[in-house]
Structure 1
Amino acid sequence: MLEAFNFRVLLDYLPLFLKGMWATAWLSGLSLAGALVVGTLACGGRLSRFRLLSALAGAYIEAIRSTPLLAQLYFLYFGLPSLGVRLPEYQTGILALSLNSGAYMAEIIRAGVLSVSWGQIEAAMAYGLNYFQRMRYVVLPQALGVTIPPLLGQAIVLVKDSALLSLISVFELTRAGQIITSERFMPAEGFFTTALLYLLIYYALKAFSSWWQKRLIFVQPA
């Protein structure tokens, strides 16, 4: 199979693929930061004692998790302009990835918070710690060790989902494969290289996840 590959053309397009790989990296990084903010806020709303806030957060999480990302992306890209809201392609893509991944991260963070035993929270209350002090010194440090591995897994999913942004003309790694296919009609070379570079990103994130997990200190409740 490799004998039929035109490696000379791939070398000519290598700068384009590297540019697309860099675009995928910063798009995913911004989307991941946005997803963490959205997920934390949604988690706080889901755990809130205010029923309306909890219901709104729950409705957002269920709506996002029960619909495909592609439909959400098309709604933001084609639907919002019909409502009078126009966003550039890159902003639309980052918003779609942030909202989609944020719903999953909200449930991951909520599971981590709920994993902390109530006895430890009661002990913190007995020491006179207020709500924010309990979250900072008791709940969040323990929840962090539980949530970091699945959060890193969700980050890997986000990177792969960023390939859908090529459908709204956002230049990233998959778009680079589409360009070489349209200009040279070499789909095998173009998308094989694209898949290979995604594989490199995946293993880099997986190695980082393993490195991070080895350094986490899990606090087991008595």
Structure 2
Amino acid sequence: MLGNLNIRVIADYFPALWQGFLNTLMLSGLGFAGAMILGIIACALTIQPLRWLRAPAIAYVDCIRATPLLAQLYFLYFGLPRLGILLPEIVIGIIALALNSGAYVAEIIRSGILAIPRGQFEASMSSGFTYLQRMRFIILPQAIRPTISPLIGQAIVLVKDSSLLSLISVVELARVGQQIALDRFMPVEGLAATAAGFLIIYYLLKALAGFWSRFDRVPGRS
């Protein structure tokens, strides 16, 4: 089947595929940036002592991890207009990616925090740091470093999940592949072009993870 792949059709749609590739990078980048912010906040709330702050954060993490991204995406896409909140599809897509991935980021960072020796917490408390100061200056810098590789892995998952935004008419890589299939009745060409674009992003992120692993093992780094 792949031997009959029509490269000319893919070449004809290359400008659209390139734009879809760039849009996928943009959506994934903004979504992951939002996920990092949400994840750090949710993680900080889940490990602090006040129950009235901890419970909503735990509920957010559990609800997101227990439901599929597609359901969350459709909930935002159809639910927000009913509340009178009208947002462009691309904004809804970024919010959905950030909310979904943020819950997983929170758990990744929490695992990094739990690996920090208890003495670090006690030393920061005895030095008079407030909770926010302890998290900002002492705990989070130590927790994030060993979680870089898992976070890059989560970024790879988010990039793949961004293909679901094609279902709400966001023009990204998967949407362009669908358009090729509809315009030319050549689904194999559209799927092949889409897969190639995602493979490129995957290997870029994989290379970044490998570079970080080698960099983090450099002798003398603490």
TM-score (normalizing by structure 1): 0.92
Match of 1:31 in 2: 31
Match of 1:216 in 2: 216
Match of 1:116 in 2: 116
Matched, 1:101 2:114: no
Task: Work out whether residues 30 and 94 of structure 2, in 8 Å CA contact, stay in contact via their aligned partners in 1.
Answer: yes
- Distance apart, 1:129 and its partner CA: 4.8
Match of 2:129 in 1: 130
**Can you give the 5+ residue segments of structure 2 that lack an aligned partner in the other structure?**
none
- Distance apart, 1:160 and its partner CA: 0.3
Change (3 A) 1:42 1:159: same
**Can you give the 5+ residue segments of structure 1 that lack an aligned partner in the other structure?**
none
RMSD value, Cα? 1.6
Task: Work out whether residues 39 and 104 of structure 1, in 8 Å CA contact, stay in contact via their aligned partners in 2.
Answer: yes
Matched, 1:7 2:14: no
Q: What is the correspondence of 1:186-197 to structure 2 with a 5 Å cutoff? A: 186-197=186-197
Match of 1:45 in 2: 45
Matched, 1:19 2:19: yes
**Count of aligned pairs:** 217
- Deviation per CA, 1:36-72, whole angstroms, max 9, x where unpaired? 1111111111112110110000001101000000000
- Distance apart, 1:80 and its partner CA: 1.5
Q: What is the correspondence of 1:63-102 to structure 2 with a 5 Å cutoff? A: 63-102=63-102
CA distance in 1: counterparts of 2:160 and 2:52, whole angstroms: 34
TM-score (normalizing by structure 2): 0.92
Runs of 4+ in 1 over 3 A off after TM superposition: 123-126, 131-138
- Distance apart, 1:136 and its partner CA: 4.3
Change (3 A) 1:147 1:129: farther
| Secondary structure, aligned partner of 1:215 | helix
CA distance in 2: counterparts of 1:99 and 1:141, whole angstroms: 23
CA distance in 2: counterparts of 1:48 and 1:2, whole angstroms: 55
Give % identity: 56
CA distance in 1: counterparts of 2:41 and 2:144, whole angstroms: 16
Match of 2:142 in 1: 142
Question: Partner amino acid for 1:130?
Answer: F
